[in-house]
Amino acid sequence: MFCPKCRAELNDGSKFCKFCGTNIAQFMAQNTAGNFAQSEPQPDFVQEYEQGEPVLPEQNTAWQPDPQPWQGDVRQEPELPKKSNTGVIVLIIVLITVVVILGMVVAFLLLKNDGSKKSSSSSSSSSSVSSEKSGTKKSKDGGDDSSKGSVGTELDEEDDDEEDDDFSFSGIVNKLASRSSLDVELVSSDVSDYPNVKVYFSVKKPDGETVELSAPKFAVKEQISSGEMIEREVKSFIKVKETEGISYNITADKSGSMDSSMSDMQSIMRSFVDALDTKDRAELLAFDTYVMYMCTYTTDKTLLKNGINNISAFGETALYDALYEAVFNSGMQKGARCIIAFTDGADNSSYHSQQDVIDLAKQYSVPIFIIGTSNADYSVLESIASSTNGYFWFIDSIYDLEDILSQIRSEEEEMYCLEYVSDSSADAYSPRKIDYAFCDKDYGAEINGDFTPVETIEEQKHSSRYEVIIDSCSWTEANAECIRRGGHLITITSDEEMKTASDLADKNGLKYVWMGGYTSNSGSDTYGHWVTGEAFDYERWMDGEPSRNDKDGVVEMYLMLWKINDEWSWNDQRNDPAADYSYFKKDNQMGYICEYDD
């Protein structure tokens, strides 16, 4: 038999427990379940077993009856240590843990199944949601995994673990509450491959630091003119430096006050050109009293540096005219573009105004970055820059120019390009509003913007290298038209090309033909240079030319091929001679030749 209280094994017929001292009969009478004394120990009440015997608390096994006097049939019971419930507690905890884990597994399976249904429904109900997941797979060492393509074309594998894989516009917006915010600014657009539309924008942290997004997801809605706001298919969302180059227009001050700083500026500009990516293109304009093309847009660094070397200090400061020309040329370039201008003084010689520059830059979505010295008009330059999504820097030394140029180049390369598919039936140049939202695992933003696309210079094949246009126009008009056609005014650099140009002029009845070049003054010397930056080491000047000034004192700086006394030669001419001399308009004898390098 067993003690009904401590469960120790006793001899049959025992009246008292020799271990705990319990009066067995009395305990049985006070408990309705008296048959416990005759039953086998139940597993729920046994703590541990060792070799089939119950193991009692150590102090219980050594206990002896208290030698207190008997009081009738009732013996005074000693106070024993409380029996431990550790085993029961452990068992309960294990059971609860198992139940919780099973519940979590069931909940996860149910949510995953529900999410898959939502994703399937979203894909089938809207054709505007891209079927591709954006993102570049990064290797462990931080480099791009070339097998995954560019950012915006592949889904990073880690995204498969996201419970919510809805990357529609509303789906991305719903995720933004859990992402850190960013400052995003729409910079420019490009519809040269319409209905594909490219939008370029900068992405920065609130402190101005650029951001490297990790496998970003992107969605866009577009409204054309006064139509509906419609979600569009996103083709790619890619950092500019990974897919295409930047078109830079560099506009440099060459006024007389730059004389002492000219060589330093030229050295810094050459270093900037050397640092350009092979995909980048650049154009170099210089300004004094007039605006000059030192090198038209090219990827050829040698030509750009030739143009830099041809800059010499002279005259006044036509800053606004130079910026206006730069915006016009930059706005016609495809892809990402910007203007970088440097001046050491205030404008004092322009036909165009500050507001003309701002209005044209807004029309073409071209940001203008301006660096000025202490003599520059701070408030005016800051206004032009900020109004066009650019920046203005004030510098004390010409040597600060190098760091700023490097900063501009770095920020331009860090821009992102969003390409989406618009409505092919709409006019490519219609005004548009877009709402775009994006996020990665850490950052996100939703932005509203509007823009009106502008026509860019189309790549076109020409039947021949040279094209003759008969028109008694000014040099600047002829130059602009050749640029619009994708070429430049002819540059004659050999006897062979001189003969080709003369024969074309004769064939078309021309006597006065604009060429793509200027004359400049350097001290008492007058020298020529081509708009393309090509070496000016071939010359066919008429006797007494270049004169740089006409008899009435008007400045002559634009190169003309003309036929005098039945002989073809070169002359430097005023910008619009037909406006002052009627014989230039006679019998359609005036025109220009466009040259195409493709």
CA dist., res. 156 & res. 173, Å (int)? 20
**Which regions of the chain carry the CATH code 3.40.50.410?**
247-413
On the question of pLDDT at 155 being above 70, the answer is no
Closest of 596, 290, 228 to residue 432, by C-alpha: 228
- Given a contact cutoff of 8 angstroms between Cβ atoms, the answer to whether 24 and 14 are in contact is yes
Q: Stretch 397-403: mean pLDDT, rounded?
A: 93
Q: pLDDT > 70: what percent of the chain?
A: 74
Determine the Cα–Cα distance for residues 237 and 417; give it in Å rounded to an integer: 6
Q: What contacts 29, CB < 8 A, 6 or more positions away?
A: none
Residue 137 has pLDDT above 70, yes or no: no
Indicate the CATH number for domain 168-240+416-451.
2.60.40
- Mean residue pLDDT of the chain comes to 82
Specify the higher pLDDT residue, 228 or 109: 228
User: Could you tell me where in the chain the CATH 3.10.100.10 domains are found?
Assistant: 466-595
**pLDDT at residue 397 greater than cutoff 50:** yes
For tokens 């036909």, what's the residue? 351
Which phi and psi (to 5°) does residue 239 adopt?
-70, 135
- Three-point CA angle 540, 480, 511, nearest 5°: 40
d(CA 443, CA 208): 14
pLDDT of residue 21: 67
Query: Is the domain covering 466-595 a CATH 3.10.100.10 domain?
Result: yes
**3-state SS assignment for residue 480:** helix
**pTM (two decimals):** 0.71
**Strand intervals (E) in 53-133:** 53-54
Span 526-546, average pLDDT: 95
Task: Please give the pLDDT value at position 3.
Answer: 75
What is the dihedral sign for C-alpha 397, 400, 405, 408? negative
pLDDT category of residue 33 using cuts at 50, 70 and 90 = very low
> What CATH class has 247-413?
alpha beta
CA distances from 540 to 167, 424, 494 (A): 66, 52, 10
The stretches of 126-243 forming alpha helices (DSSP H) are: 169-175, 240-243
How do residues 293-320 score in pLDDT, each as one tens digit? 999 999 999 999 999 999 999 999 999 9
What are the residue ranges of CATH 2.60.40 in the chain? Answer: 168-240+416-451
Q: Is the pLDDT of residue 55 over 70?
A: no
- Give the span between the Cα atoms of 319 and 185, in whole angstroms: 27
Band (pLDDT 50/70/90 cuts) for residue 41 is very low
Has residue 76 got a pLDDT over 50?
A: no
Q: What is the DSSP string of 7-65?
A: --B--TT-SB-TTT--BHHHHHHH-S-GGGGGSPPPGGG---EETTEE---HHHHT---
